[in-house]
Structure 1
């Protein structure tokens, strides 16, 4: 697929600014485009006042002392991204990583891991043999057992690796592997704090259990709700059939009954619910409406993920993980490591957490007693 012109020109400008100048023929070869296309891009950048064009040469307008440190790889050096197939949440992470990598002059190679246990390992072993510069990966990790099973082989990968939206278990073999993840504890804290501030004292979490994010959300909610004296009653249930891989505890909903969540809310006297993830949230809100539970008049709803939460008939208040920012930070972390390694400098692994935001919409309101 042909690379968009804006992205291609951004890569050209980054390369020229890093090097000071570059031959158009070299740029064409590295971008895998014709010399005519590269020349046209250089001419457009020159007209925009972003660089100076000479005879077959593109020169930077940035003074030498202000030029960025050269990347660890020249324009065209490849970085591989490995993500699960059909994962809308991680699509935004990939977008953020791709933009940062291409701006730094790297070529991005995307590999999609199918829904098969252990699918990532052969992909990583193959790309490692292809001579790529580094690896950004978000393993599927449906269960804690699947996560643990991947620790050994991932720890043996000789490429520089950054885990995206994944934080391995503390003390595991991957504890010292670079990782960038949303602070999901803080995201749940924002949701509970918002609901408590509106007067809600009985809260239900309906969440999946088949991803690292889901498991982090469930653990954080149990801890936070138990520690908040304002929360009089709380419980955790599954949000959808097929969402349980790790044997989640709590009452087992009868998903054949579309009114199961409304019945649970009435049974516990709950006036608020936190729903993970977005698609499940939209479906459950519709089921609440069908069962005569008005949102937000009878029940305030907060979704977790904010991929499609704003598109509901009632736009959902949602915790919004900084998905694109996670990808961008992961890419910058890898770029910095490659640059330091190329300069012979030591590297200290990072475990980075990025804070999510709460986007307040129409699905939450103050409790009226």
Structure 2
């Protein structure tokens, strides 16, 4: 067998191994119409040799001929955030049937890295871009460059339709209202709130839903029990913020029987802090989160949360991207917006409010009314 000089198996390697010309091998393996003029035994021998050598077509060379890369860039602002993983899985499921390769890159919450990756995505001629905008995602002028190059772009987790970018996100206001309503239905009236970072897009609509539901129920929210996460650098900081604020809640001396946290990791931090103080969740205090990421489901207690249909949102993002590629060929550029309906997932971190006399917390606990 001929010794190959190149790293990958090429048509030349197969031709030399079989004793046929490169053009004959190419015609057979590409299943071109002319391959019917090649003897069946020759076609069979070439295909067997290709399999034996481990040959795979050169997608890069093919993309140069067709001027199509068959690649969709998936740019995550922070892939360490559990929020991102189900979305990525949904995107992969949506792209696979169309033989598109998802090129996954992680900006690690760094604006410069995000911009650098976006430039490289354009330079490498990705046919579409899906951005997963979690946490401190900030808009960038380079997104406009993507649009100017007529590359379909979809963003998950942010509404950028005013900038003519198709957007998928959960209905945050409805989600905040759903979480608050759940606690109220359980009999809780003194509820502590941990809001999201000020610069995060989701914060204000969730807070609006919480406030509206409280007003409708005639409940006064004690401002001394409303906390706001700082402008964080990564998703794990939410856990640390929840842990810190739970201690501040107890130290404040204000009565509360439930905590509504901005997201699941923050809720887990709150639960840890209450537990460290000798308090039981949900016996002494109920806690609800938001997102329904994996840690919320497997923790003890399991976190009651507001589910975002993350996998479905990723699947829809990929479908929109493929549709936009077809529309581009017809000179149509539809811009879409979808706000996914949130869903309450009840687990063991919430329970009906119990009278102070029946709670299991330590005698000096300031949770009691």
Asked whether the two chains share a fold, i.e. TM above 0.5, the reply is yes
User: What are the residue-to-residue correspondences of 1:159-308 with 2, within 5 Å?
Assistant: 159-168=151-160, 172=162, 174=163, 176-209=164-197, 212=200, 214-216=202-204, 218-225=206-213, 227-235=215-223, 236-239=226-229, 243=232, 259-264=247-252, 266-267=253-254, 269-307=255-293, 308=295
Q: Distance in 2 between matches of 1:345 and 1:314?
A: 53
Which residues of structure 2 form unaligned runs of 5+?
1-26, 32-48, 55-65, 235-240, 356-369
CA contact (8 A) 1:277 1:305 kept: yes
Q: Distance in 1 between matches of 2:283 and 2:113?
A: 45
Q: Deviations over 1:305-359 (max 9, x none)?
A: 22211222211111111111111111111111212332x2633210111122111
CA contact (8 A) 1:74 1:106 kept: no
Which residues of structure 1 form unaligned runs of 5+?
1-22, 28-33, 40-72, 246-252
Counterpart pick for 2:108 among 104, 111, 114? 114
CA contact (8 A) 1:121 1:153 kept: no
Cα 1:35–1:205 shift into 2, 3 Å: farther
SS of the residue 1:135 aligns to: strand
CA contact (8 A) 1:207 1:275 kept: yes
Q: Distance in 2 between matches of 1:182 and 1:317?
A: 17
CA RMSD after TM alignment: 3.6
* Cα distance, 1:141 vs structure 2: 6.2
| The structure with more helix, counted as a fraction of residues | 2
SS of the residue 1:352 aligns to: strand
Counterpart pick for 2:76 among 80, 83, 106? 83
* Cα distance, 1:24 vs structure 2: 9.6
Q: For residue 129 of structure 1, what is the aligned residue in structure 2?
A: 123
Kindly indicate whether residue 97 of structure 2 is the aligned counterpart of residue 97 of structure 1: no
CA contact (8 A) 1:196 1:230 kept: no
SS of the residue 1:324 aligns to: helix
Q: Distance in 1 between matches of 2:283 and 2:312?
A: 34
Q: Deviations over 1:33-71 (max 9, x none)?
A: x9539x9xxxxxxxxxxxxxxxxxxxxxxxxxxxxxxxx
Q: Deviations over 1:252-298 (max 9, x none)?
A: x997787223234x41x222111133223222212112223321122
Counterpart pick for 1:328 among 292, 315, 320? 315
SS of the residue 2:349 aligns to: coil
User: What are the residue-to-residue correspondences of 1:59-74 with 2, within 5 Å?
Assistant: none
CA contact (8 A) 1:75 1:107 kept: no
CA contact (8 A) 1:120 1:139 kept: no
CA contact (8 A) 1:207 1:214 kept: no
Q: Deviations over 1:96-141 (max 9, x none)?
A: 1111011222111112213322432222222112222111112456
* Cα distance, 1:366 vs structure 2: 1.4
* Cα distance, 1:164 vs structure 2: 1.3
TM-score of the pair, normalised by structure 2: 0.68
| The structure with more strand, counted as a fraction of residues | 1
CA contact (8 A) 1:140 1:211 kept: no
CA contact (8 A) 2:77 2:106 kept: yes
SS of the residue 1:301 aligns to: strand
Name the stretch that deviates more: 312-321 or 132-141: 132-141
- In the alignment of these two chains, the number of paired residues is 293
